[in-house]
């Protein structure tokens, strides 16, 4: 079943064309990788899906609803969560509070109830704290749960960002270079978390990643962008053999 379909997405920044006519479809429950050289428009694509950018042209359909013109918070409400390439955590808050923001949409106590902190607001807070602790356990970040996020090392921050996105209980998860800047061990951990997220929680994952080993290992489908155009798509094996992809990555032999 197709969960997310992007058709003919076109995004311009002034005269610069970041995406021109990109279309692809993501099936429910798969790990979908977007790859491509630097500046190919991968992050722009994710920004279009999560609503940070609004494309000039094209439609994004999520579970039979056209979300092309919805603001980001409404897309989050529909179940789209994401992480950022340059970590965009709430640096002044603790890990727990960061994850509690992920529960924002699942909490309903208003201003007055919250300010008085009795009955429903309190119970709701405790219930959601329970959920957050579950995710903390899932990603094994118990030891840092009360730390201020800005003080944590990079690898942990990346993990907290994944945790925050998971706290939203998304249907689809957009990960922008989840393994960037990580050492081998951290990369393996992160790959395992992504596979578990996908397998155990049944969350569809769209992932941008430069680590080809990881991409080929864990993804079910790959889409290759170059200069804002889709140049290939298919299973990892198909993509690896595609002459356009080889050309984009390695260049062409001059004869």
Partner 1 sequence: MRCGDFKTSYAADMTIFESNSARIMLGLFLCLLFTVPLYTPGYVLDIANRIGIAVIGAVGLNILTGFTGQISLGNAAFMAIGAFSSGYLGTRFGLPFFLCIPLAGLMTAFFGMFVGIPSLRIKGLYLAMATLAAHFIVEFLVVKWESVTGGVAGLSIPPPKLGSFAFDTDARLFFLIFVIAIMAVLFAKNLFRTKVGKAFIAIRDQAISAEVMGVNILKYKLLSFGISSFYVGVAGALVAYQAKIISPETFPITVAIDYLGMIIIGGLGSILGSIYGAVFITLLPELLRLSTSALAGPFPLLVAKLAAMKELVFGIFVVVFILFEPHGLAARWHRIRNYWKIYPF
CB of 61 or CB of 93, closer to partner 1: 93
CB of 72 to partner 1, least distance (A): 4
- Sheet containing 80-82, strands listed edge to edge, beginning at the edge strand earlier in sequence: 80-82, 172-176, 204-208, 31-35, 221-226, 229-234
Please calculate the CA angle 210-183-234 and round it to the nearest 5 degrees: 25
Work out which of 39, 92, 181, 199 binds partner 1, going by CB under 8 A.
Answer: 92
Contact call for residue 39 and partner 1 (CB under 8 A): no
Nearest to residue 43, comparing CAs of 171, 174, 233? Answer: 174
Residues 101-130 that bind partner 1 (CB under 8 A): 101-105, 107, 109-111, 113-117, 121-122, 125-126, 129-130
Crossing angle of helices 95-102 and 154-167, in 10° steps, is: 30
> How far apart (Å, rounded) are the C-alpha atoms in residues 227 and 13?
14
d(CA 199, CA 222): 18
Q: Is 159 in the site for partner 1 (CB under 8 A)?
A: no
Whose Cβ is closer to partner 1: residue 142's or residue 183's?
Answer: 142
**What is the C-alpha to C-alpha distance for residues 92 and 80, in angstroms, rounded to an integer?**
24
What are the backbone angles phi and psi of residue 84, rounded to the nearest 5°?
A: -110, 155
Of 39, 56, 77, 134, which lies in the binding site for partner 1, with binding defined by CB under 8 A?
Answer: 77
Q: Is 76 in the site for partner 1 (CB under 8 A)?
A: yes
Under the criterion CB under 8 A, does residue 51 sit at the interface with partner 1?
yes
- Residue from 19, 22, 81, 225 touching partner 1 (CB under 8 A): that is 81
Contact flag: residue 201 with partner 1 (CB under 8 A): no
Complex with partner 1: residue 6 or 215, whichever CB lies closer: 6
Describe the strand order of the beta sheet including 2-13 as a list of residue ranges.
Answer: 16-27, 2-13, 57-62, 65-66
Within residues 137-156, the interface with partner 1 by CB under 8 A covers: none
- Main-chain dihedrals φ then ψ at residue 77, nearest 5 degrees: -60, -35
* Residue of the chain from 61, 93, 216, 246 that contacts partner 1 (CB under 8 A): 93
Pairing of strands 204-208, 31-35: parallel
Q: Residues in the site for partner 1, rule: CB under 8 A? A: 50-52, 71-73, 76-77, 81-82, 84, 88-93, 97, 100-105, 107, 109-111, 113-117, 121-122, 125-126, 129-130, 133, 164, 168
């Amino acid at each position: 079943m197709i969960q997310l379909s992007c058709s003919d997405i076109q995004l311009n920044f002034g005269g610069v064309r970041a995406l021109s006519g990109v279309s692809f479809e993501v099936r429910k429950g798969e790990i979908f990788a977007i790859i491509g050289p630097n500046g190919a428009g991968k992050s722009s694509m994710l920004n279009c899906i999560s609503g940070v950018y609004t494309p000039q042209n094209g439609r994004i359909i999520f579970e039979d609803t056209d979300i092309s013109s919805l603001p980001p918070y409404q897309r989050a409400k529909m179940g789209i969560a994401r992480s950022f390439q340059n970590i965009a955590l709430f640096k002044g808050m603790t890990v727990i509070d960061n994850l509690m923001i992920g529960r924002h949409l699942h909490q309903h106590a208003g201003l007055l109830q919250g300010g008085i902190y009795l009955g429903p607001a309190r119970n709701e807070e405790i219930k959601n704290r329970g959920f957050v602790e579950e995710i903390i356990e899932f990603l094994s970040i118990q030891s840092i749960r009360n730390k201020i996020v800005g003080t944590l090392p990079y690898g942990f921050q990346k993990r907290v960002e994944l945790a925050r996105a998971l706290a939203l209980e998304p249907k689809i998860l957009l990960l922008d270079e989840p393994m960037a800047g990580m050492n081998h061990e951290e990369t393996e951990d992160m790959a395992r978390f992504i596979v578990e997220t996908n397998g155990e929680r049944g969350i569809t994952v769209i992932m941008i990643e430069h680590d080809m080993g990881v991409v080929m290992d864990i993804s079910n489908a790959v889409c290759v962008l170059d200069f804002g155009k889709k140049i290939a798509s298919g299973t990892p094996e198909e993509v690896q053999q595609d002459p356009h992809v080889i050309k984009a990555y390695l260049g062409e032999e001059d004869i």
